[in-house]
Structure 1
Amino acid sequence: MKQAVLYVGHGSRVKEAQDKAISFMRSCMPLVEADIQEICFLELTKPSIEEGFEACVKKGATHIAIVPLLLLTAMHAKSDIPIEIEKGKQRFPHVQITYGKPIGVNQEVTKAVVARIEEAGYRGERAQILLIGRGSSDPDVKRDVCGIADDVRNMLPHAEVFPCFITACEPNYRDVLAQLTADHDTPVYIVPYLLFTGILMKEIEREASKVRKRLQNIHVCRYIGFHPHVKAAYIERIKETILNKEDAFRFRGDRHASNPS
Structure 2
Amino acid sequence: MKALLFICHGTRLAKGRIEAEEFVRLCMSQVDVPIKEICFLELAEPSIAQGFERCIQKGATNISVIPVFLLSANHIKIDIPKELHHFQNQHPGVEVIYGRPFGVHEAISHLLWEKITKNTVSLRKNTHILLVGRGSTDQDVKRDLEAIASNVQNHYGIPSIQACFLTGSEPSFEEALWNSHKLYDQVIVVPYLLFSGLLINGVKLTIKRYQQQSKQNVTLCETLGYHPILKDVLLTRINETLETKKYAFS
> Fold conserved (TM > 0.5)?
yes
SS in 1 for 2:65: strand
Mapping of residues 98-177 of structure 1, within 5 Å: 98-123=97-122, 125-126=124-125, 127-177=127-177
Residues 13 and 209 (structure 1 numbering): CA distance in 2 closer, same or farther, change over 3 Å? closer
Which stretch has the larger CA shift, 114-123 or 73-82? Answer: 114-123
What amino acid sits opposite 1:205 in the alignment?
Answer: K
- Per-residue CA deviation, residues 91-140 of structure 1 (Å, 9 max, x unaligned), is 21111111001111112222221111111115455321100111111111
- Per-residue CA deviation, residues 22-75 of structure 1 (Å, 9 max, x unaligned), is 111111111112121111111222212122112112222221110011111111
SS in 1 for 2:69: coil
Mapping of residues 74-113 of structure 1, within 5 Å: 74-113=73-112
What displacement does 1:208 show? 2.1
Cα pair 2:133 2:165 within 8 Å, conserved: yes
Cα pair 2:65 2:97 within 8 Å, conserved: yes
Distance 1:174 1:135 in 2: 13
Q: TM-score, normalised by structure 1?
A: 0.88
Distance 1:12 1:178 in 2: 28
SS in 2 for 1:247: coil
Which stretch has the larger CA shift, 122-131 or 73-82? Answer: 122-131
1:203 is the counterpart of 2:202: yes
1:257 aligns with: none
SS in 2 for 1:211: helix
- Aligned-residue Cα RMSD (Å) equals 1.8
What displacement does 1:217 show? 4.6
What amino acid sits opposite 1:221 in the alignment?
Answer: C
Q: TM-score, normalised by structure 2?
A: 0.92
What amino acid sits opposite 1:82 in the alignment?
Answer: P
Q: Which runs of 5 or more structure 2 residues have no equivalent in the other structure?
A: none
Residues 15 and 247 (structure 1 numbering): CA distance in 2 closer, same or farther, change over 3 Å? same
- Count of residues in Structure 1 that have an aligned counterpart in Structure 2: 248
Segments ≥4 residues shifted beyond 4 Å: none
Cα pair 1:7 1:68 within 8 Å, conserved: yes
1:46 aligns with: 45
- Per-residue CA deviation, residues 138-160 of structure 1 (Å, 9 max, x unaligned), is 11111111111111111221331
1:231 is the counterpart of 2:241: no
What amino acid sits opposite 1:248 in the alignment?
Answer: Y
What amino acid sits opposite 1:62 in the alignment?
Answer: T
Which stretch has the larger CA shift, 44-53 or 66-75? Answer: 44-53
Q: Which runs of 5 or more structure 1 residues have no equivalent in the other structure?
A: 252-261
